[in-house]
Structure 1
């Protein structure tokens, strides 16, 4: 026998399958994703439970829940919504909220577009300082400005056709101006970041075609900003519609209070019908929910556009 045949034959090394090495990692990743999904589902249920519980009790009779408890099931009726609409005078207070919310949202978005266009398209010395001045209104709590704003509005004299009191107090325009002042900074900040992502070649082409600054703003910039404007409109309607702090400070007559004040009309002197209050809360929340679902597509698009642009 030769030396070659007497040499021990070693087994060839087994090739490692790359798929087998990745399999445990993939399984672990799937388990991690499943855990995240379960966690998010639990958090969503916890978040939705109070709203669903209030919605359920808004259709239940108070006498039934007082006898069987709120954890029971039954006693369904529509009388809570009928009584809430009459006692809270929603037909009047919702009109008051519309008088305040619609002009405030429109003015806020228009002024924010003007500020954002100047800050994002023109370079000058106080560019960032101007944006910071508008954004600074969101850094102070409204309670800190309560007394100065009240005294200022009481001192400003306006015609009686503009306000019944002769000042900005007890006037819809006072609430509109306060909401515009506090919300313009946030909207200008969001819109300026979005306008900076628009290609400058579009504006250079517009200048070559003879378009001035106003034409660039109204015919070029505003149409391209529809998604963020829809997203901001949804947020601003929700914030201004639900705002009640400045209404209690600047309004003095009950016939001008917004719809958020109607909940106090549903409270009894000796006890509170929680089912009636729940029905009133659902009625108050309906306009903002309708606006959100109508503008849902534009709202999501406005939040995601420009997120991946460097």
Structure 2
């Protein structure tokens, strides 16, 4: 029923796996490596059509310095921070309270509410483009960071609620009952008992939501216009010129845009793995 560990495979299958895995990894990393190499390549080499060879002149400081100083990348970066941080905090805060209620309280419609959260995750986001954009225009939030914050909080809360509800459901209910017997309020149970116990799940969820919101391009393009509220994903696309494009600057901007997500994952890697395996075994 469950896949066998690699060390218990047949010798031929194990050898094929060890050969194919590095090949698949290289193929998967090839576009990323191409972007990294292009980001340190000089403009003269690109004009000569040298895209895949090793750089003859490393223009690391020139390209990244130009991307930071000669373009509005820092402004885009600040907008991304203003959008991502409140979105992550808001989505996880609302989802943790909703997950606590759905996993702890028994009331009529509990299952229907849970199904509503689950069904919302299966709605294609593309069909929401026109109504969400029109709503942002009517309420005066179009081309503001608040439009993206509100949308991301609304859209991410459903997935986060389903995620946290399942984790909280696995906690021993005797802890909550004992706290109630001792006279603890529901808010104290939520904040002082449940939240510390699901901290690994919160960390894993925070990384997932941060990565999604930070790398979002579709909604940033739909709900912003110009540079005022544009995040870094739209800013990288704006580096492309009308007639000619400095691909080394675009590549450098792409690396800078992806760097926060990568750094956050490696900084929170232990918590991320612990959160994904939290509650996987009992005993």
TM-score (norm 2): 0.90
Residue 86 (structure 1) shift: 2.5
- 8 Å Cα contact 2:144/2:228 also seen in 1: no
Which of 100, 103, 109 does residue 120 from structure 1 map onto? Answer: 103
Q: In the alignment, does 2:175 pair up with 1:233? A: no
Q: Do the aligned residues in 2 keep the contact of 1:65 with 1:75 (CA within 8 Å)?
A: no
1:283 alignment partner in structure 2: 256
State how far apart, in whole Å, the 2-side matches of 1:269 and 1:282 are. Answer: 22
Q: Paired residues, what number?
A: 275
Q: Does 1:251 align with 2:224?
A: yes
Match of 2:71 in 1: 88
2:58 counterpart of 1:76: yes
Q: Is the Cα–Cα contact under 8 Å of residues 137 and 181 in structure 1 kept in the other structure?
A: no
Instruction: Identify the match of residue 41 of structure 1 among 4, 7, 22.
Output: 22
Whole-Å Cα distance in 1 between the matches of residues 138 and 51 of structure 2?
51
Q: Which runs of 4+ in 1 moved over 4 A?
A: none
Alignment of 1:143-162 (within 5 A): 143-156=126-139
Whole-angstrom CA distance in 2 between matches of 1:68 and 1:76: 16
C-alpha separation between the residues in 1 aligned to 2:72 and 2:19?
43
**Which piece of structure 1 moves more, 39-48 or 194-203?**
39-48
Query: Secondary structure in 2 aligned to 1:254?
Result: coil
Q: Describe the superposition over 1:69-98 as per-residue Cα deviations: whole angstroms up to 9, x where unpaired.
A: 223222211211111123331211111111
Q: Distance in 2 between matches of 1:226 and 1:108?
A: 15
| Equivalent of residue 187 in structure 1, options 160, 172, 188 | 160
TM-score (norm 1): 0.83
Q: Distance in 2 between matches of 1:41 and 1:209?
A: 57
Structure 1: how far apart are the matches of 2:8 and 2:215? Answer: 47
Larger Rg: 1
Preserved contact between residue 143 and residue 228 of structure 2 (Cα < 8 Å): no
- CA RMSD in angstroms, aligned pairs only: 2.0
Give the Cα–Cα distance (whole angstroms) in 1 for the partners of residues 152 and 71 of structure 2. 24
Consecutive unaligned residues in structure 1, runs of 5 or more: 1-25, 157-166
1:265-298 per-residue CA deviation (whole Å, 9 max, x = no partner) reads 3212322222221111001111111111111110
Question: Does residue 103 of structure 2 align to residue 130 of structure 1?
Answer: no
Cα distance in 2, alignment partners of residues 152 and 266 from structure 1 = 29
Tell me which of 172, 177, 184 is aligned to 1:199.
172
Where does the alignment leave 5 or more consecutive residues of structure 2 unmatched? 1-6
